[in-house]
């Protein structure tokens, strides 16, 4: 940390003068397409501007800011461009089409769009905002070789990803403490284990920018404490554009492997049915084999095409932008995996393993913007994402209650597919009622369809003396097939009325009043078919279907099929699925007030009132009453205040203060007692789980110096009452559940630094060299107390601990070089990331905490544009290929490895065509 501060201070000594932005373009006759000589283009209300030359071109400079432009010429209607934002050092290019007076006598008004892909513009928006926010745009994502939204947010201060856990940790707070939205409207989850949708679903082909709001404000739903992550989808910013990209690559760990995939699946992620084919337990009618299929050339690839056009419909304009992409990736891992160990180093399960992970996704997106009138803008966004992950894991070693006999070991093979379909439909309207009054309307309908079709688990026993295998008997669940489906529909609506207190509606002083509504309905069900063996029958593990798992074995009474409801299908409906149904309805009233007390001082205060009605009904064979169902209801009301203060010490030095209250609500899965089984653990819900209350304070200093340069430092504190954790509960099996563990406190400091070391303009050649870094130090502490109000017993090993997933130290850094002319250019970046050791699982029953060891990652990203249409990209990611490791201390002080593997380096080469 000391050396890091020295680097920061040294780089801070290199300063640069703030630069003006440039507005340039071409003025033409709309009917003939001819260039207009001598037309005047100027900033409204000023003399700043220029006349067009003999080629119709104009160019002039302005200070960074947002302007209205006027274009005039004798015999033509005036042309007005509203809300054109120009960043420091940025060049904004325009094409102005003037219409003759005999065609249109009234002034033509066009509202400019802010291209949020620009790093400079996002930095300017951040500077002008009242609240604390961070954003990362498409330009920065491309420069750092980022492939999806999940990787994007990990480049932001205080955000990290934990291996084996979906989604990200923000300031040490994981999935349940965060929220996800698209264009400001919330999104549902595709996975019953998680609250948020997987961020890796959203590839950079559809991302304009990603906003990370770490402080709560009334514009977002109150179930958030870490951050609201808002993905802004791409839209058209030019009259027309077309972009085609393709790439191919490999993972150094996967190449050369005979890569295994679940039988019945294919490279597109289709082929498996979510419906069980079994209608009679005496008939073996399964469609897929217990023997995995093999891929001999596991190569990664991607293809995307995007484009759009601006269409004139009468006197109105329609912007249409479409994206389609497909991508796949292979990852091979091998190592050891063990269950948590006792104080003497004993483990219930101790395996070596190989894991073959394959992921494929298809994405289709449409964005349509239409200026219905001069005062009403409509936007319609539609998106379909199909994401399919396939895993085959093979585990060999010792397991409690399986291999106690000398000379015997276990072999477990698990084939798992998770198939997810997301449909998003959003309609947004921006209505300008006057210069001071504005109305924003938004609504969405989102639908998730997730399934785990035909998950297959085999447990075999190896006689090490003879080398022969037999099937494990005594517990039917050791060999099973599992079919599950999740259907979730999510409806959102919002209306926000704003009134400008000073100047126009774009000013800092305004009052907002609104209402938002969310209705989420989930249905989850599964069927499991277990193989109940009376004895340990011999089996060929390379051909288990021919030798054992077939109709003949049922006929010979070697095994029988049973479900969670039994096997006597003449007396009960053994095929009825185990289910839970969740319903959650939120009504919110919103009030927000910002007032510019002076040119330097802006005060913001707001409140959000929410009523939450959540109901979960389940019907599981292992937990049902005489009516076959139980009920869990949560019906609180929340008053959630927030406060923001912005003080400008100077034009480029800003202090911000934010404080708020929010809450964290138990999710459907966390309160439903559905038992989910994995190789090394099982988990179930806790109906007595309580919501958590969150209190947050942030203090931030920002210094903007020169083009794209920033230094910022943030201190923050969070207090969480009734914190929620997933822990190992006291039970006959190794089972995890969700419990309230007491109060938690989180505090820390975050540093950001961006600096252009040098820039040079030689003729038409521009070159630059820049560095960036961000770091965070986090302190977290939570009390560990068994909640006396629930029915679970948890024996914590320690009285207190850090938060799960909270890394005390996070570091991101990059070095970038760019050299370009109008048609050619080269860019290169070195991107580094590091997180320190953190808790993976809190210790219970005299077992110590399981720790995830900190690792560094290093990426090299480069591209070469050899003319205005073609570009080649090269990426070498995770080139250090560090060892991922979970470990646990035992009584002697020895560190015991729980799991380890390496992911391999990822190398890719791509080609992009842009018209």
pLDDT for 538: 95
Q: What is the mean pLDDT of residues 344-360?
A: 85
Give pLDDT tens digits for 848-884.
888 999 999 999 999 999 888 999 999 999 999 999 9
Give pLDDT tens digits for 669-715.
888 877 777 666 677 888 888 899 999 999 999 998 876 788 999 99
N- to C-terminal Cα distance for the chain? Answer: 47
Give pLDDT tens digits for 492-526.
999 999 999 887 666 778 999 999 999 999 999 99
Phi-psi category of 762—alpha, beta or left, where left has phi over 0 and alpha has psi -120 to 50? beta
pLDDT for 848: 86
Are 398 and 461 within 8 A, CB to CB?
no
Q: Which residues contact 761 (CB under 8 A, 6 or more apart)?
A: none
* Residue 667 banded pLDDT, cuts 50, 70, 90: confident
CA distances from 245 to 303, 334, 648 (A): 6, 33, 44
Percent of the residues in the chain that have a pLDDT greater than 70, as a whole number:
90
d(C-alpha 630, C-alpha 616), whole Å: 8
Average pLDDT, the chain: 85
* Nearest CA-CA partner of 419 in 291, 524, 274, 289: 274
Percent of the residues in the chain that have a pLDDT greater than 90, as a whole number:
46
Structure token digits, residue 665: 């609500």
* Residue 407 banded pLDDT, cuts 50, 70, 90: confident
d(C-alpha 831, C-alpha 665), whole Å: 36
- The string of DSSP codes covering 94-150 is EEEEE-BTTT--SPEEEEPPP-TT-HHHHHHHHHH-SS--EEEEHHHHHHTT--BHH
* Residue 345 banded pLDDT, cuts 50, 70, 90: low
- Max mean pLDDT range (123-137, 764-778, 783-797, 900-914): 900-914
Are 616 and 632 within 8 A, CB to CB?
yes
For the cut 70, the answer to whether the pLDDT of residue 652 exceeds it is yes
For the cut 70, the answer to whether the pLDDT of residue 815 exceeds it is yes
This prediction's pTM: 0.83
In a 10 Å sphere around its CB, with 0-12 CB exposed, 13-18 middle and 19+ buried, how is residue 573 labelled? exposed
For the cut 90, the answer to whether the pLDDT of residue 426 exceeds it is yes
For the cut 80, the answer to whether the pLDDT of residue 893 exceeds it is no
Q: Where are the alpha helices (DSSP H) in 237-277?
A: none
The 10 Å Cβ neighbour count of residue 428 is: 19
- Side-chain half-sphere CA neighbours of 665 within 13 A: 24
pLDDT for 419: 94
Least confident interval from 31-35, 262-266, 842-846: 31-35
Are 604 and 130 within 8 A, CB to CB?
yes
Are 301 and 906 within 8 A, CB to CB?
no
pLDDT for 834: 92
Q: Is the dihedral of CA 880, 881, 886, 889 positive or negative?
A: negative
d(C-alpha 488, C-alpha 452), whole Å: 15
DSSP H or E segment with residue 885: strand 884-889
* Residue 839 banded pLDDT, cuts 50, 70, 90: confident
DSSP 893: S
* Residue 4 banded pLDDT, cuts 50, 70, 90: very low
pLDDT for 157: 87
DSSP H or E segment with residue 250: strand 240-251
Question: What is the DSSP pairing of strand 21-29 with strand 91-98?
Answer: parallel
d(C-alpha 397, C-alpha 467), whole Å: 14
For the cut 70, the answer to whether the pLDDT of residue 115 exceeds it is no
pLDDT for 623: 53
Torsion angle of the four alpha carbons 8, 9, 11, 12, in this order, in degrees rounded to the nearest 10: 110
d(C-alpha 32, C-alpha 28), whole Å: 8
CA distances from 647 to 600, 602, 641, 700 (A): 5, 6, 20, 10
* Residue 603 banded pLDDT, cuts 50, 70, 90: very high
For the cut 60, the answer to whether the pLDDT of residue 121 exceeds it is yes
* Residue 634 banded pLDDT, cuts 50, 70, 90: low
Are 391 and 415 within 8 A, CB to CB?
yes
For the cut 50, the answer to whether the pLDDT of residue 158 exceeds it is yes
Structure token digits, residue 530: 């277990």
pLDDT for 164: 61
Q: Which residues contact 560 (CB under 8 A, 6 or more apart)?
A: 281, 531, 532, 554, 567
Are 262 and 456 within 8 A, CB to CB?
yes
- Max mean pLDDT range (120-129, 298-307, 396-405, 560-569): 298-307
Least confident interval from 283-292, 324-333, 445-454, 892-901: 892-901
Q: Which residues contact 13 (CB under 8 A, 6 or more apart)?
A: none
DSSP 733: S
pLDDT for 882: 94
Rounded to 5°, the CA angle 475-479-482 comes to 115
């Amino acid at each position: 940390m000391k050396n890091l501060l020295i680097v920061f201070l040294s780089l801070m000594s290199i300063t640069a003068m703030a630069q003006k932005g440039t507005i340039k373009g071409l003025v033409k006759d709309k009917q003939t397409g001819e260039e207009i000589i001598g037309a005047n283009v100027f900033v409204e209300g000023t003399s700043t501007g220029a006349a067009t030359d003999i080629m119709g071109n104009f160019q002039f400079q302005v200070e960074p800011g947002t302007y209205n432009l006027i274009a005039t010429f004798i015999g033509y209607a005036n042309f007005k461009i509203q809300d054109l934002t120009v960043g420091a050092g940025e060049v904004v290019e325009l094409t102005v089409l003037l219409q003759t007076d005999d065609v249109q006598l009234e002034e033509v008004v066009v509202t400019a769009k802010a291209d949020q892909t620009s790093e400079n513009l996002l930095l300017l928006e951040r500077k002008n905002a009242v609240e604390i926010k961070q954003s990362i745009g498409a330009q920065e994502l491309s420069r750092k070789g980022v492939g999806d939204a999940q990787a994007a947010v990990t480049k932001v201060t205080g955000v990290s990803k934990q291996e084996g856990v979906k989604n990200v940790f923000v300031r040490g707070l994981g999935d349940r403490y965060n929220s996800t939205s698209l264009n400001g409207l919330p999104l549902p989850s595709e996975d019953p284990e998680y609250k948020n949708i997987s961020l890796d679903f959203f590839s950079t082909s559809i991302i304009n920018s990603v906003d990370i709001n770490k402080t709560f404000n009334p514009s977002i739903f109150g179930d958030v404490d870490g951050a609201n992550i808002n993905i802004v989808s791409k839209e058209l910013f030019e009259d027309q554009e077309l972009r085609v990209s393709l790439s191919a690559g490999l993972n150094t760990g996967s190449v050369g492997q005979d890569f295994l995939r679940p039988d019945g699946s294919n490279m597109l992620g289709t082929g498996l049915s979510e419906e069980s084919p079994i209608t009679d337990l005496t008939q073996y009618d399964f469609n897929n084999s217990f023997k995995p299929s093999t891929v001999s050339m596991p190569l990664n690839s991607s293809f995307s095409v995007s484009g759009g056009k601006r269409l004139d419909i009468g006197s109105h304009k329609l912007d249409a932008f479409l994206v389609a992409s497909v991508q796949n990736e292979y990852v091979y891992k091998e190592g050891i995996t063990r269950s948590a160990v006792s104080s003497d180093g004993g483990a219930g399960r101790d395996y070596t393993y190989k894991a073959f992970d394959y992921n494929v996704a298809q994405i289709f997106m449409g964005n349509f913007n239409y200026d219905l009138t001069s005062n009403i803008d409509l936007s319609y966004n539609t998106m379909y994402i199909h994401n399919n992950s396939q895993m085959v894991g093979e585990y060999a070693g010792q397991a409690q209650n399986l291999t106690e006999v000398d000379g015997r070991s276990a072999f477990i093979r698990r084939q798992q597919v998770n198939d997810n379909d997301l449909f998003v439909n959003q309609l947004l309207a921006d209505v300008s009622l006057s210069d001071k009054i504005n109305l924003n309307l938004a609504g969405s309908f989102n639908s998730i369809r997730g399934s785990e079709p035909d998950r297959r688990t085999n447990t075999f026993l190896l006689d090490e003396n003879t080398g022969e295998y037999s099937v494990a008997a005594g517990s039917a669940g050791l060999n099973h097939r599992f079919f599950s489906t999740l259907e979730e529909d999510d409806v959102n609506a919002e209306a926000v009325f704003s009134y400008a207190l000073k100047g126009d509606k774009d000013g800092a002083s305004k009052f907002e009043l609104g209402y938002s509504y969310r209705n989420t309905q989930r249905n989850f069900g599964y069927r499991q078919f277990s193989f109940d063996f009376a004895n340990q029958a011999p089996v060929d593990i390379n051909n288990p279907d021919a030798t054992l798992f077939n109709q003949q074995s049922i006929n010979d009474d070697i095994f029988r099929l049973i479900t969670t409801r039994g096997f006597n299908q003449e007396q009960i409906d053994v095929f009825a699925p185990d289910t839970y149904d969740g319903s959650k309805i939120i009504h919110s009233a919103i009030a927000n007030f910002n007032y510019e007390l002076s040119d330097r001082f802006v005060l913001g205060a707001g409140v959000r009132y929410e009523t939450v009605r959540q109901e979960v009904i389940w019907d599981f064979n292992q937990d049902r009453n005489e009516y076959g169902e139980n009920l869990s209801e949560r019906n609180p009301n929340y008053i959630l205040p927030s406060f923001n203060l912005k003080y400008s010490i100077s034009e480029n030095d800003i202090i911000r203060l934010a404080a708020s209250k929010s809450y964290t609500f138990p999710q459907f899965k966390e309160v439903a007692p559905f038992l989910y089984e994995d190789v090394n653990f099982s988990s179930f819900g806790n109906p007595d789980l309580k919501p958590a209350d969150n209190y947050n304070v942030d203090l931030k200093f920002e210094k903007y110096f020169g083009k794209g340069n920033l230094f910022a430092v943030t201190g923050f504190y969070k207090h969480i009452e009734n914190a929620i954790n997933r822990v190992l509960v006291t039970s006959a099996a190794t089972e995890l559940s969700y419990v309230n563990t007491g109060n938690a406190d989180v505090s820390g400091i975050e540093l950001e630094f961006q600096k252009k070391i040098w820039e040079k303009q030689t003729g038409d050649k521009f070159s630059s060299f820049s560095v960036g870094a961000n770091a965070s130090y986090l302190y977290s502490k939570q009390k560990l107390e068994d909640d006396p109000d629930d029915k679970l017993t948890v024996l914590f090993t320690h009285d207190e601990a850090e938060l799960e997933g909270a890394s005390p130290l996070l570091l991101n850094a990059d070095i970038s070089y760019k050299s370009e002319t109008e048609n050619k250019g080269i860019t290169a970046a070195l991107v580094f990331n590091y997180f320190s050791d953190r808790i993976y699982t809190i210790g219970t029953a005299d077992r110590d905490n399981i720790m995830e060891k900190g690792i560094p990652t290093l990426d090299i990203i480069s591209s070469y544009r050899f003319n205005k249409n073609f570009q080649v990209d090269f990426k070498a990611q995770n080139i250090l290929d560090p060892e991922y490791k979970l470990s646990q201390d035992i009584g002697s002080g020895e560190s015991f490895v729980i799991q380890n593997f390496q992911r391999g380096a990822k190398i890719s080469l791509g080609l992009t065509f842009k018209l």
